[in-house]
Every structure is written in structure tokens, then in C-alpha cells.
């Protein structure tokens, strides 16, 4: 009778042992193998490897800002939207290299970061600078929570937005009748739906006189368009639409608008250039909807719900400027009407 094969013994007679190495982001454990003529020698090799690994272990003390940002992004891939991850990777690739990227976390101080911000401010908009600093702050919070910075960010510039009016919308719709772009404009101006929500909309989401928003089309880390659930609970909503909009939507089967968000923007921009109307963005159709609802007396809570804004603060911060512009426009019309009562 042959002797039973000993555990961890290879056909060659050598001994092999495995030592835990790391767990990847998918939760899979990885092990390092060591082979030697005897179990004792295999264990000695494993012990030497573990000692060297511990000595060279990457810690916040020897981690650079660039490497820390990469680890932060990898750790957050399951929690953040693909578009946010793509934005973070772009910031890391373009703005967290050079001097700031090579700086090790213990060496980060207010002066270093302020110089970096000043350099970015020379070539980027205040919003882009704030986004870059936002990523750096998140990275430091994760890997070096004791770091305290006292810096000054560039003042945010209020964008010079134009809010389309009823006449602009009528001209636009008249020029795109019977197209997918028409459906996109109807959903944005009277919904108001976002580009990604429009692109993800399916005929199954049209029920009676309502449109149910449950998904959004976004770019993933591979720059491919994918259908995802909304980032916030406010994104889930059912909107009662005007009858003429529902009539047009019910003519479609499957995807209501066969355009990606980028294609919507591109086609919209080309069409608008052909019309005698001031320039505005596709997203400004949501501005139009918010301003009209405000002017006709719809309470903010219902505007908030219909538009799918995360909070009242978000809605007001983004749209209050155009709402106030529409209010001023209506006030001028009111005062013009009352001129007839001027006392001579």
C-alpha cells in the first residue's frame, strides 16, 4: 500500500504553502505561493516575503497625492455614478500630476495647495478649480483625515444664462416637427426631464397621461452609454403631461427618443443656429419650465417634485437667477399695462 499524499506536497516532492496577499475590490482574496524542498524552508521564504511586504507597505506616510487619488477613485467606483468617476479620473489625469501629484500626503499643507489652486485658476474656470479641489479634499479625508487646510478658492462666476420664453419654444417646435428632437424638447420643456432621462425613456413608461421617470442614460468609465437608476431618490417621479405631449409620445414604441444625450445636444445646437432666437442650451429648457411654473404661482415644493431636484436649496441655487429674470420680465409687462392709468 502506498503512503497517502501529504498535504501541500507537490508531485515533485517539494512542499508548497500559500499566504494571504490581499483582497481586491470585488471581494476576491489573493494568495502568494511559496515552494521549497521542505515545509520549513517554504515557511521561511513566506516569512521573509511578509517581512519585506510589511516594510514596503504603502501607508499615508509614503503615499503621493496622485496615487492616493487613484486609490480613492477605485474604492468609490461602486458607490458613485459612472459620470462622476469619469470626471474624477479626468481631474486626476490632468490636474493632480506634477508638483502637487508627487507630494506625499504628510507634506501637504495650505501653502502647497494654495499655489496649486492659483496655477489652476490661471487657465480654468472657477467651477473647474472648485471641482478639482473637491476631489483633493475627499482624498485627504480618506487617507489623511488629520490634514487641515486654510485656502481661498476663486469666486464663483454667475453664468450669463438666457431663459427661453414661449415665443422661442414655439419657433423651435415648429422647426423640428415629426423628429425625435421634437419629442426631446417636449419632454424637457414641459416635463421637465433631463437629457439622460429622455434618452432612457421607454414607451412602457408612458401610462395614461403620465410619464414615469425610473432610469437615466449616462457614460460609464469606458465612455459607453449605459442605462442606470437615478442618483437620488428625487430622480424617481411620475409626471402628468399636457395632452398634446402624451399624444405625440404614444406614437412611439420602444425607446421614445432614439438619441444619446450628446446627440440631443448636438442636434439641438445645430437647429437653434438656424432660428432667429437668442442662443440657449438644451438644459435651459428646464430653466424655462421652472420659470413658467414659478410665474404662474406653482409652489416651490411642486416645482421641486416635478423637476426631480434633490433639494429645495439645489433648485433655488441653480434656477433662482432665471426665475427672477422671468419675474422681472412679467413685472415690466404688468407696469406697462398700468401706464394707461397715469394721472396727467
Q: What is the largest CA-CA distance in the chain?
A: 126
Could you list the pLDDT tens digit for every one of the 344 residues in the chain?
Answer: 445 456 777 888 888 888 887 665 456 788 888 888 888 888 888 888 787 766 655 556 678 999 999 999 998 887 787 778 889 999 999 999 888 999 999 999 999 999 999 999 999 999 999 999 999 999 999 988 888 899 999 987 766 778 888 999 999 999 999 999 999 999 999 989 999 999 999 999 999 999 999 999 988 777 789 888 887 777 899 999 999 999 999 999 999 999 999 999 999 999 999 998 899 999 999 988 888 888 788 888 888 889 988 777 766 666 666 666 666 777 777 787 777 665 54
Question: Cα 283 to chain center, whole Å?
Answer: 15
Encode 306-335 in three state secondary structure. HHCCCCHHHHHHHHHHHHHHHHHHHHHHHH
Domains of the chain listed by start with CATH number:
15-55 (no CATH), 65-143 (1.10.150), 166-334 (1.10.443.10)
Q: What is the DSSP letter of 219?
A: E
Rg (CA), the chain: 29
Q: Tell me the H-state helices in the chain.
A: 39-55, 65-76, 82-95, 98-102, 110-121, 126-143, 166-175, 180-190, 195-200, 243-249, 261-273, 284-295, 300-307, 312-338
Amino acid at each position: 500500500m502506498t503512503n497517502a499524499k501529504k498535504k501541500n506536497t507537490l508531485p515533485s516532492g517539494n512542499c508548497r504553502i500559500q499566504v494571504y496577499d490581499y483582497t481586491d475590490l470585488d471581494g476576491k482574496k489573493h494568495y502568494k505561493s511559496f515552494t521549497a524542498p521542505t515545509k520549513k524552508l517554504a515557511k521561511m521564504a513566506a516569512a521573509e516575503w511578509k517581512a519585506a511586504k510589511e516594510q514596503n507597505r504603502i501607508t499615508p506616510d509614503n503615499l503621493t497625492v496622485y496615487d492616493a487619488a487613484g486609490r480613492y477613485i477605485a474604492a468609490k467606483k461602486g458607490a458613485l455614478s459612472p459620470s462622476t468617476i469619469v470626471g474624477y479620473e479626468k481631474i486626476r489625469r490632468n490636474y493632480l500630476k506634477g508638483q502637487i501629484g508627487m507630494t506625499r500626503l504628510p507634506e501637504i499643507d495650505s501653502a502647497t495647495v494654495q499655489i496649486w489652486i492659483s496655477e489652476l485658476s490661471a487657465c480654468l474656470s472657477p467651477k473647474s478649480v472648485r471641482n478639482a479641489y473637491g476631489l483633493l479634499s475627499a482624498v485627504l479625508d480618506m487617507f489623511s483625515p488629520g490634514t487641515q487646510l486654510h485656502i481661498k478658492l476663486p469666486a464663483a462666476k454667475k453664468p450669463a444664462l438666457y431663459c427661453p420664453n414661449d415665443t422661442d419654444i414655439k419657433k423651435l417646435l415648429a422647426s423640428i416637427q415629426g423628429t425625435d428632437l421634437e419629442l426631446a424638447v417636449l419632454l424637457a420643456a414641459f416635463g421637465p426631464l433631463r437629457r439622460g432621462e429622455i434618452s432612457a425613456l421607454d414607451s412602457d413608461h408612458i401610462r395614461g397621461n403620465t410619464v414615469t421617470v425610473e432610469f437615466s442614460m449616462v457614460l460609464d468609465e469606458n465612455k459607453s452609454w449605459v442605462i442606470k437608476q437615478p442618483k437620488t431618490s428625487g430622480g424617481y417621479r411620475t409626471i402628468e403631461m399636457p395632452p398634446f405631449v402624451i399624444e405625440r409620445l404614444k406614437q412611439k414604441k420602444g425607446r421614445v427618443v432614439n438619441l444619446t444625450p450628446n446627440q440631443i445636444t448636438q442636434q439641438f445646437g445645430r437647429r437653434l443656429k438656424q432660428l432667429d432666437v437668442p442662443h440657449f442650451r438644451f438644459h435651459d429648457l428646464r430653466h424655462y419650465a421652472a420659470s413658467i411654473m414659478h410665474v404662474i404661482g406653482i409652489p416651490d415644493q411642486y416645482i421641486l417634485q416635478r423637476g426631480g431636484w434633490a433639494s429645495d436649496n439645489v433648485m433655488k441655487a441653480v434656477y433662482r437667477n432665471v426665475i427672477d429674470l422671468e419675474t422681472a420680465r412679467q413685472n415690466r409687462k404688468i407696469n406697462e399695462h398700468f401706464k394707461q392709468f397715469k394721472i396727467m
